[in-house]
């Protein structure tokens, strides 16, 4: 039975779902606790970067960055989930994407070892004593 774990990491789909959950939770907390649009954007960008550094998966980091951009633009910058595509919105998208890429690549740049490979260990079976012939 395959667990779906590759190179000691969860599958990308699970990481994307995790990134979505982190983004939604962070958006709710930031909306309630952080005043000012600029501060909210930087906090969300930091959340994306930290998630990407933990996930160490570029596609999941970029999807999380896009999700964070949608939630930030729709709920923290604008109201009622309204997405806009002005110059500042696209700059914000670039900041989130750069944070995701930097976070996913940062552990490697800092010389962190690759994720540990999980190898299932079978219990040792008792060795039957060989009978003399």
Torsion of CA 76, 81, 84, 87, to 10 degrees: 20
What was the pLDDT predicted at 12?
87
What is the band of 1 on the pLDDT scale with cuts at 50, 70, 90?
A: very low
* Spatial contact of 110 and 102, defined as CB atoms under 8 Å apart: no
* Spatial contact of 51 and 61, defined as CB atoms under 8 Å apart: yes
pTM over 0.85: no
- Closest by CA position to 40, among listed 49, 50, 30: 30
- Closest by CA position to 23, among listed 59, 58, 57, 73: 73
Cβ count near 1 (within 10 Å): 3
Alpha-carbon distance of 25 to 72, in angstroms, equals 12
Cβ-Cβ contacts under 8 Å for 73 (sequence gap 6 or more): 83, 84, 89, 92
Alpha-carbon distance of 38 to 56, in angstroms, equals 27
pLDDT in tens, 38-83: 999 999 999 999 999 999 999 999 999 999 999 999 999 999 999 9
């Amino acid at each position: 039975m395959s667990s779906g774990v590759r190179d000691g990491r969860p599958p990308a789909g699970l990481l994307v779902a995790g990134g979505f959950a982190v983004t939604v939770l962070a958006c709710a907390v930031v909306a309630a606790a952080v005043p000012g649009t600029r501060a909210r954007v930087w906090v969300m960008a930091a959340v994306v970067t930290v998630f990407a550094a933990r996930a160490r998966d570029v596609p999941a980091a970029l999807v999380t960055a896009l999700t964070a951009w949608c939630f930030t633009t729709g709920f923290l910058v604008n109201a009622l989930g309204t997405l806009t595509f002005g110059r500042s919105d696209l700059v914000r998208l670039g900041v989130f994407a750069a944070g995701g890429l930097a976070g996913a690549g940062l552990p490697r740049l800092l010389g962190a070892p690759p994720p540990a490979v999980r190898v299932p260990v079978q219990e040792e079976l008792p060795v039957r004593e060989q009978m003399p012939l």
